[in-house]
Each structure stands twice: as C-alpha cells, then as structure tokens.
C-alpha cells in the first residue's frame, strides 16, 4: 500500500470560533470533549474525527468542504444532519463504480486495504476523515457529497 500525501487543514474551526466570540470551553462542551482535546484539534496536533468535524459544520452552518478548505465559499447550503455510514458506503461504491475501479485498486490509491474498502461500502464502518479526505482530493469530489450531506 502506498500512503496518500494530502495535508488536511482544518484551521477554520479556530477562525470560526474566534469570529463568533466563543471560548474554547464552550465548543469543547458542545462536542462533549475536554478543552485540552479541543485545543489539540485547533492546533492541528491531533486528527479530528469526522463525527466531531461534522458537529462543528452543523454548529457553524458551513460545509465540511469549507472547514477543510476544499472550498472558500462559506455560504454553500448544506443540510445539518448526522452522518449515516450506510449512505457514505453507498456513495463510496458509486464513486468507485463511476471511476471503473475495483475495491483493491481504490484501496491502493488511498493507502489502505481491500477489506477496509469493503467494510466502508457495506456500511459496517464509517469512512475515516483521513481516507475520506484522500478520496475527495484524489477524485476531486465534495466531502459533503461523500458523507451524505448533499446529493
């Protein structure tokens, strides 16, 4: 497996918090995590889980694409909803088939295993932010589409 080499930048979570005059403790409380854990996300010392990034997107009424600087447009209308791993799996399968890829080929492209792609597509596991971001960058698609926030 070859590792992907896409650098994620979610520094907008800090920018939005400051713009909205919110202390870290309020956002940490909303996410139900410690202030220290949230602070690590703002500094990008730790990878933020997709579920928490989605909660922040819903809170600030912005897209996942905006939070990860895939787009600079904060006004894209996105549904505020939870991520459903079955829908994510269906979208991943659509993407793979539209690009005429086998599961093992996609796995090689993003640096993971065939079995993990299979678990993602069957809805057994939620696509991690790391692999979701790699897929979006590699195939130039919206993270919000992959995670089922837009159709």
**pLDDT, tens only, 58-78:** 999 999 999 999 999 888 878
Q: What is the pLDDT of residues 112-137, one digit of tens each?
A: 999 999 999 999 999 999 999 999 99
Report the percentage of the chain scoring pLDDT > 90.
83
pLDDT score of 70: 92
Q: Is the pLDDT of residue 1 over 90?
A: no
Query: What is the rounded distance in angstroms from the CA atom of residue 72 to the CA atom of residue 92?
Result: 24
Angle ∠(42,48,54) on CA atoms, nearest 5: 100
Q: What is the pTM of this model?
A: 0.91
Q: Please give the structure tokens belonging to residue 124.
A: 């057994």
**31-35 mean pLDDT:** 98
Domains of the chain: 12-67 (1.10.260.40), 85-146 (1.10.260.40)
């Amino acid at each position: 497996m070859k590792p992907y080499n896409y650098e994620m930048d979610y520094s907008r979570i800090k920018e939005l918090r400051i713009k909205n005059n919110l202390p870290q403790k309020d956002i940490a409380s909303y996410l139900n995590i410690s202030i220290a854990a949230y602070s690590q996300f703002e500094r990008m010392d730790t990878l933020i889980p997709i579920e928490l990034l989605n909660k922040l997107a819903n809170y600030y009424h912005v897209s996942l694409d905006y939070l990860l600087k895939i787009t600079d447009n904060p006004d894209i209308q996105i549904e505020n909803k939870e991520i459903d791993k079955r829908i994510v799996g269906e979208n991943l399968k659509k993407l793979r088939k539209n690009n005429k890829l086998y599961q093992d080929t996609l796995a090689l492209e993003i640096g993971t295993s065939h079995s993990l792609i299979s678990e993602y597509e069957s809805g057994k596991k939620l696509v991690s932010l790391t692999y979701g971001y790699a897929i979006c960058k590699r195939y130039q698609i919206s993270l919000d589409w992959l995670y089922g926030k837009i159709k």
